[in-house]
Structure formats: structure tokens, C-alpha cells
Structure 1
Amino acid sequence: MKIVIFGGTGFVGLNVAEALLARGHDVTLYDRAELPPSARRALADRGERLTVVQGDITDATAIDALIAEGVDAIVLGAAITAGDDLERASTARVLEINVMAQIPILLSAIRHGVRRVVNLSSAAAYGAAGARVESLDEDTPCDPVSFYAISKFTSERSVARHAELFGGNFLSVRLSAVFGPWERANAVRDTPSLQFQILAAFARAEPAILPGPGIKDWTYAPDAAEAVAMLIEAERPRHRLYNISSGAAWSALQWGEAFAALHPGLQCRLAAPGEKTAIKLHGGDRAPLAVVRMADEFGWRARFGCAESAAHMSAWWMQHKEAI
């Protein structure tokens, strides 16, 4: 298939691109940011099956022209992943990019007969509901609080409503606590995972000192990308919303210790009482996401747990240290 990933040179977009290219598809990355040099080298052997288009997600004319060339599927991955500081600075921008910019893309997809649209949403959409239950399935009533959470929940409803009104084959996925290859902090993402912050400390030849264990249902990016690829290829998905998560909670501290054990001299530990640390926890505790829907319908389960993702990321890190 010919697939366009909006936000394609970003963290999750690049992982999805790698998964789709490995499955034989032609992929176009549309993003305001250039392809990072390390990713350009890693993907150099993909040849004409990979195209990179620099453009703004709000440029409806350019986007419509791109879709009009013939597109089978679209991934809506362009977003501002905002913590409190970025929300305060760019409240309107969060809603503009995460919700309003999608609407011209959806309408263009309908006009030009795009077969499938997958909207990358977030576990943040559950909001305060995550503290009230033991497991979050797709039918759990949401209670989004932050502007980021509100924007992702609204994007899901907007995508579903467009599909209902115009007959598009559109769906959304809620990604939970994603980390892994190609992650980076930038002007539109100020909530890097603890794993990224651990690796950044290691890259500075410093110990990774955590303010807390950081327990979440962490999801390795290649696992999330495989799930998205399955949904793009699926003939007739039975639902408009799917959770994507490892399905099990474990600590970033445990992950950092497993990674450090593979590299003598590295250290990951909790901060001592009163000890300062540059590493920040983002988001409070919440229940893990249930992945029964993905497992039952498509046979998908995350392949990488704590130890497996640490080992895989260690090998990736040795090749791409400059990307951290």
C-alpha cells in the first residue's frame, strides 16, 4: 500500500514507518521537521519506497494535493505532546494541531477514497478515570483533564464522527507510555519517557538518578508500531478504538537497572532523600490499559517486556548514540 504518516519524522512516526517498510509498503513521511540524520542513514536502503515531504500540518492545500496523488492509508501522528509547561505556553496550539488540523486531512481522505485512516491517540484520554479502576478497557468512561488529554479524546470523537457522517474507514488507537528508538525531546514534546531520560544521563556519562520508580504499563515503540501496521492492513476491523499497551505494569527503575547491567560502569538508582535529580516523572499513576480487543481480534500481544526491551534498546543505542 501507499501510506502517508503525518508527523512521520517524529518518535512514534519513525517506528511506524520502519514497521510498514519492513512489511513491503511504500511510505511517505509528512512533517515540518527534517528526517534526523541518524534515521536518514538507517533508512537509506529503503530507496524509492520511502519519501520525505517537509510541510506544515495546517497547510490544507499541500496536504490535499499529496493525498490526491493516490493514498491507500493515512496515519494521523502529528501532535503536540504537552506537559503542564507547554500547555501554559501553547494552549490554543495544542488544540489546533491535535484536533483542528486533522479535519481537512479527514475530508481530503474522504474525497479521494483513502481506504484506512488510523489516528494515534493516547492513554491520556482516560484522564482521571485511570485512578478509579484496576484496568482500562476501551469502554471505560473517560474523564480527560489536561488540555493534551482533552485534545486526544476529542480527536478520537472527531475521527469517529467523520466516519459516521461520510462512511470513511477510520479508527483510533490509544497508545500507553511509549518509549524506545528514535525518541527525542523537542519544542512539541516536553514529556520524554523515563527511559529516554535514563539514556540521556548515560550518554552524558552520568548516573541515572530517578525521583521515583516510575511504574507504568510501558510499551516499547516497535511493539506499538507493529500493532498500528496490523490495523492498517486489517480488512474489516470490528471497532473504531483499540488500546495498545504492554498490558503489564513495571518500573522504569527496573528497566534502567537491566540496561545498566549490559554496560559496565553505568548506574541507575533512586535518588537519596534530599538528593536532586534532573530526571522528571510525567503524569500520575493510573491503571494499565487492557489489550484484550487487540489480542482477540488480531492475535497481537507486545513482544517486549522490561528485560527484552532493555536488551533490544541496548543494541540500538550502540548504533545510534548520537540520536539520544
Structure 2
Amino acid sequence: MKIVVFGGTGFVGLNLAEVLLARGHEVTLYDRAALPPSAQRSLADHGARLTTVQGDITDAEAIDALIAKGCDAIVLGAAVTAGEDLERASPARVLEINVMAQIPILQAAIRHRVGRVVNLSSASAYGAAGQRVAVLDEETPCDPVSFYAISKFTSERSVARHAELFGGDFLSVRLSAVFGPWERPGSVRDTPSLQYQILAAFARGEPALLPAPGIKDWTYAPDAAEAVAVLIEAERPRHRLYNISSGAAWSALQWGEAFAALHPGLECRLASPGEKTDIKLHGGDRAPMSVKRMAEEFGWRARFGCAESAAAMSAWWMQHKEGI
């Protein structure tokens, strides 16, 4: 398939590119940022099957021209992943990129008869509902609170409404607490995962001191990318919304301890009372997401739990340490 990934040189986009290229697809990455040098080296063997296009997600004319060349699927992965500081500084930008910028892409997809569009949403769309139930499934009523959560929930409804009005084969996925290879903070991502912050402390030669255990249904990025690839390739998905998660809750503290155990001299622990730590939590603990829909329809389940992802990330870190 010919697949265009908007936000393709970002964290999730690069993991998705690796998976799609490994599965034999042709991939175009559209992003304002260039492909990082380490990713260029890592993806070089795929040759002409990988194309990168630098452009702004709000440039409707350039996007239409790109889609008009022909593609089988589009992934809407460009987003401002905002914490409270970025929300305060630029709430309009969060909504502009996460919601309004999608509309010209969806309309171009309809005009040029794109076979499948997958919108990358977030578990944050559940919002306060995550504190009220034991497990979050796709039928749980959402209660988004932050501008980021509101924008993600709105993006899902916008994608679904376009499909209802124009007959497009569009769906959304809610990604849960993703971490792993290629993660990096920036001007549109000010909420790095606890795992990234743990590795950053290790890279500075410091112990990783966590303010709290950080319990979530953490999802290793290659697992999330595999699930999105399954949905891109699926002939007739039965739903317009799917949860993508490891399906089990565990703490970032456990993960950091497992990672440190593979590298003598590293230390990960809770900060003692009064002890300073630069590691920040983004959002509180919430219920894990159910992945029953993905498992029953496609047989997909995450391959990496806490220990497995720590071992896999350790191997990746040894190759790409300079990028952290």
C-alpha cells in the first residue's frame, strides 16, 4: 500500500514508519520537522519506499497536491501534545493543529478517494472518566478536561462525522501512555513520558528519582505501531473507534528498576521526602483501557510488558543514546 503519515517524523510517526516499511508498504512522511539524522541512518535500507516531505500541517494546498498523487491510506498523526504550560501559552494552537488542520486532509481524502484514514487519538479523551471506572472501553462515556483531551475527543467526532456525511472509510484509535524509541520533547510535545525522563537522567549520569510510581497501562511504541498497521491493512473494520494499549497497568518505577538492572551503576527509585527531582508526572493515575475489541476482531495484543519493553528499550538505547 501507499501510505501517507502526517506528523511522520515525530515520535509515534517514526515507530509507525518502521513497522509499515517492514511490512512492505510505501511510506511518505509529511512533517514540518526534518527526519532526524539517526532515523535517516536507521531507515536508509528501505530506499525509495520511504519519502519525506517537509511542510506545514495547515498548508491545505500542499496537502491536497500530495494526496492527489494517489495513496491508499492516510494516518492523521500530527498533533500538539500539550501539558498545562503549553495549554496556557497557546490553547488556540492546540485546537488549530489537533482539530481544524485535519478537516482539509479529510476533505482531500474524500475528493481523491483514499481507501482508509486512521486518526491517532489519545486515552486522554476519556478524561475524568478514568477516575470513575475500573476499565475504560470504547463505550465508556468520555469526560475530557484539558484542551489536549478536548481536542482529541473532538478530532474523533469530526473524523466520524465526515465519514457519516461523505461515506469515507475513516476510524480513530485511542493510544494509551505511549513510550519508547524515537521519543523526544519539543515545541509541540511538552509531556515526555516518565520512561523518557528516566532515560534522560541516566544519560546525564544521574539517578532517576521519581516523585511517584506513575501507574498507567503503559504501551511500548512498536506495539502501538503494529496495532495501527493492522487497522490500516484490515479489509473491513467493524468499528470506527479502537483502544490501543498494553491492557495492563504497571508503574514507571518498575520499568526504571528493570532497565537499571540491565546496566550496573544505574539507579531508579522514588525521591525521598524533601529530595529534589526534575522528573514530572503528566496527569494522574487512571484506569487501564480494554483492548478486547482489537483482540477479538483482529487477534492483536501487545507483545511488550514492563520487563520486555525495558529489555527492548535497553538494546535500542545502546544504539541511539546520543538522541536522548
Judge same fold: TM > 0.5, yes or no. Answer: yes
- The DSSP-based 3-state class of the residue aligned with 1:174 is strand
**Identity of aligned pairs, percent?**
87
Q: Kindly report which structure 2 residues correspond to 1:164-203, keeping only aligned pairs within 5 A, or say none.
A: 164-203=164-203
- The DSSP-based 3-state class of the residue aligned with 1:63 is helix
Give the AA of the match of 1:180.
G
Deviation of 1:322 (Å): 1.3
Deviation of 1:284 (Å): 1.1
What corresponds to 1:19 in structure 2? 19
What corresponds to 2:291 in structure 1? 291
Structure 1 residue runs of 5 or longer lacking an equivalent are none
Give the AA of the match of 1:124.
S
Give the AA of the match of 2:311.
A
Contact 1:219 1:245 (8 Å CA) reproduced = yes
Give the AA of the match of 1:299.
G
- The DSSP-based 3-state class of the residue aligned with 2:30 is strand
The yes-or-no answer on 1:246 pairing with 2:246 is yes
Deviation of 1:285 (Å): 1.4
The yes-or-no answer on 1:125 pairing with 2:125 is yes
What corresponds to 1:278 in structure 2? 278
What corresponds to 2:311 in structure 1? 311
User: Post-superposition, which runs of at least 4 consecutive aligned residues in structure 1 deviate over 4 A?
Assistant: none
- The DSSP-based 3-state class of the residue aligned with 1:35 is coil
Q: Return the alpha-carbon distance in structure 1 between the equivalents of residues 15 and 180 of structure 2.
A: 9
Kindly report the root-mean-square deviation, in angstroms, between the aligned alpha carbons of the 2 structures: 0.4
Q: TM-score scaled to structure 1, two decimals?
A: 1.00
What corresponds to 1:37 in structure 2? 37
Q: Kindly report which structure 2 residues correspond to 1:47-196, keeping only aligned pairs within 5 A, or say none.
A: 47-196=47-196
Deviation of 1:198 (Å): 0.3
What corresponds to 1:215 in structure 2? 215
The yes-or-no answer on 1:269 pairing with 2:269 is yes
Deviation of 1:323 (Å): 1.5
Q: Return the alpha-carbon distance in structure 2 between the equivalents of residues 130 and 209 of structure 1.
A: 26
Q: Return the alpha-carbon distance in structure 1 between the equivalents of residues 323 and 304 of structure 2.
A: 21
- The DSSP-based 3-state class of the residue aligned with 2:296 is helix
The yes-or-no answer on 1:225 pairing with 2:225 is yes
Structure 1 residues 32-63: Cα deviation after superposition (integer angstroms, max 9, x where no partner): 00111111110011100000000000000000
Q: Return the alpha-carbon distance in structure 2 between the equivalents of residues 280 and 317 of structure 1.
A: 21
Contact 1:38 1:322 (8 Å CA) reproduced = no
The yes-or-no answer on 1:260 pairing with 2:260 is yes
Structure 1 residues 279-299: Cα deviation after superposition (integer angstroms, max 9, x where no partner): 001101110000000000000
Q: Return the alpha-carbon distance in structure 1 between the equivalents of residues 321 and 51 of structure 2.
A: 25
Q: Return the alpha-carbon distance in structure 2 between the equivalents of residues 142 and 61 of structure 1.
A: 34
Q: Return the alpha-carbon distance in structure 1 between the equivalents of residues 49 and 283 of structure 2.
A: 38
Q: Return the alpha-carbon distance in structure 1 between the equivalents of residues 287 and 257 of structure 2.
A: 23
Q: TM-score scaled to structure 2, two decimals?
A: 1.00
Give the AA of the match of 2:203.
A
Q: Return the alpha-carbon distance in structure 2 between the equivalents of residues 128 and 254 of structure 1.
A: 25
Deviation of 1:226 (Å): 0.2
Q: Return the alpha-carbon distance in structure 1 between the equivalents of residues 266 and 285 of structure 2.
A: 28
- The DSSP-based 3-state class of the residue aligned with 1:43 is helix
Q: Return the alpha-carbon distance in structure 2 between the equivalents of residues 252 and 147 of structure 1.
A: 25
What corresponds to 1:205 in structure 2? 205
Q: How many residues align?
A: 324
Q: Return the alpha-carbon distance in structure 2 between the equivalents of residues 49 and 266 of structure 1.
A: 40
Q: Return the alpha-carbon distance in structure 2 between the equivalents of residues 25 and 107 of structure 1.
A: 24
Q: Return the alpha-carbon distance in structure 2 between the equivalents of residues 286 and 279 of structure 1.
A: 19
Q: Return the alpha-carbon distance in structure 1 between the equivalents of residues 286 and 198 of structure 2.
A: 22
Q: Return the alpha-carbon distance in structure 2 between the equivalents of residues 143 and 92 of structure 1.
A: 20
- The DSSP-based 3-state class of the residue aligned with 2:124 is helix
